[in-house]
Amino acid sequence: MSSQIKPGYARPLDLKQGRVELAHGGGGRAMVQLVAELFARHLGNDLLAQGNDGAVLPEPGGRLVVATDSHVVSPLFFPGGDIGCLAVHGTVNDVAVMGGEPRYIAAGFILEEGFPLADLARIVASMAAAARRAGVKLVAGDTKVVERGKGDGVFITTTGVGVLPPGLALSGDCARPGDVVFLSGPIGEHGMAILSVRENLGFDAPILSDTAPLNGLTAAMLASGAHLRLMRDPTRGGLAATLNEIAQQSGVGIHIDETAIPIRPAVAAGCELLGLDPLNLANEGRLVAVCAPEDADRLLAAMRTHPLGAEAALIGEVVADKQRFVQMRTRFGGRRMVDWLAGEQLPRIC
């Protein structure tokens, strides 16, 4: 009589009803199965398939730029995106605005016991789609599981690696008086999308997060040959924080014009309703660029040829100011400071 035992058989993961269990982070067969049937299924590639403790990458052919970003957004799924694509875009964009061509990402997952596997599969599939769109490979990953109540579903940390073109040196301290300041598109959509789905704050018309990979846009900007001083993505703290960072780092002032800053009516209306300043709202698919004044037209034209820069605008200029103030000419005709956000406007936005 032959044995009923099927050597090497394991019941497949129940991706419909199943939930994350402590065993999925325990280092045993359950963890291997989760990696194989869920993570590798969506994110697999030749480098990840090496299956070692670390990925061995080919000779990059240039200086490397590395960025890392942890994602704790609540809710995990929001209009226009989810924590999966956000975790890819966040890191890709940090590499891209440094002028790097993003190539690889590594991801660490902290999962909460009891989290539905179906939701995890959606998140991982979304990461895979985002990585394909951005042209990056996930080459290393890690999964830990914490007890129920000790996490909030999923936290994802990603690290991105990109390659810098020879000679390029973008940096936050490079803005000079006379330089011009560009914004790639309308502000506040990510922050308002998150707000709109939070408890008791539903809007009738959905506002979608702008989460998107910026490396296509930055490549087009670099290819224009314009003399770029720096690029930066205005995420938490919004445009206001990013401009203040630049002013601080470069030791300059920045003057912007409110009427030049693109903003969708729905975002403006949401801010009005909630008493928020759109300049403080987070963006996940926008960038600020500072460039030499003589190249302004060339850079703007290059930005507008890319879909993510179609609404790009020149919003202001860099001035000499020992106080390093960011000031704005208001729509109303007055002038005011644009300051850092004090405290927190929204909890857990990215």
Closest approach of another protein to the CB of residue 175, in Å: 16
Choose which of 168, 269, 292, 301 interacts with another protein (CB under 8 A). 269
User: Quick check: 272 binds another protein (CB under 8 A)?
Assistant: yes
Closest approach of another protein to the CB of residue 319, in Å: 7
User: Quick check: 257 binds another protein (CB under 8 A)?
Assistant: no
Closest approach of another protein to the CB of residue 236, in Å: 15
Closest approach of another protein to the CB of residue 259, in Å: 8
* Residue 100 CB-density burial (10 A; 0-12 exposed, 13-18 middle, 19+ buried): buried
216 or 262, CB closer to another protein? 262
For residue 57, the tally of other CB atoms under 10 A from its CB is 14
The candidate with the shortest Cα–Cα distance to 38, out of 71, 57, 75, 12, is 12
268 or 301, CB closer to another protein? 268
Q: Could you tell me the two tokens for 45?
A: 């590639």
Binding positions for another protein, 188-207, rule CB under 8 A: 199-201
Count of residues binding another protein (CB under 8 A)?
30
Binding positions for another protein, 290-349, rule CB under 8 A: 319-323, 325, 327, 329-337, 339, 342-343
Choose which of 25, 102, 141, 253 interacts with another protein (CB under 8 A). 253
What does the alpha-carbon distance between residue 316 and residue 329 come to, in Å, rounded to a whole number?
Answer: 10
* Residue 133 CB-density burial (10 A; 0-12 exposed, 13-18 middle, 19+ buried): middle
Closest approach of another protein to the CB of residue 177, in Å: 9
* Residue 288 CB-density burial (10 A; 0-12 exposed, 13-18 middle, 19+ buried): buried
49 or 201, CB closer to another protein? 201
Closest approach of another protein to the CB of residue 316, in Å: 14
Q: Is the link from the previous residue into 75 a cis peptide, with omega within 30 of 0?
A: yes
58 or 343, CB closer to another protein? 343
Handedness of CA 255, 257, 262, 267 (dihedral sign): positive
List, in sequence order, every residue forming a beta bridge with 328; answer none if it has no partner.
Answer: 256, 336
Closest approach of another protein to the CB of residue 195, in Å: 10
What does the alpha-carbon distance between residue 211 and residue 237 come to, in Å, rounded to a whole number?
Answer: 16
Strands 101-112, 154-163: pairing kind: antiparallel
Interface residues with another protein (CB under 8 A) are 199-201, 253, 259, 265, 268-269, 272, 274-275, 319-323, 325, 327, 329-337, 339, 342-343
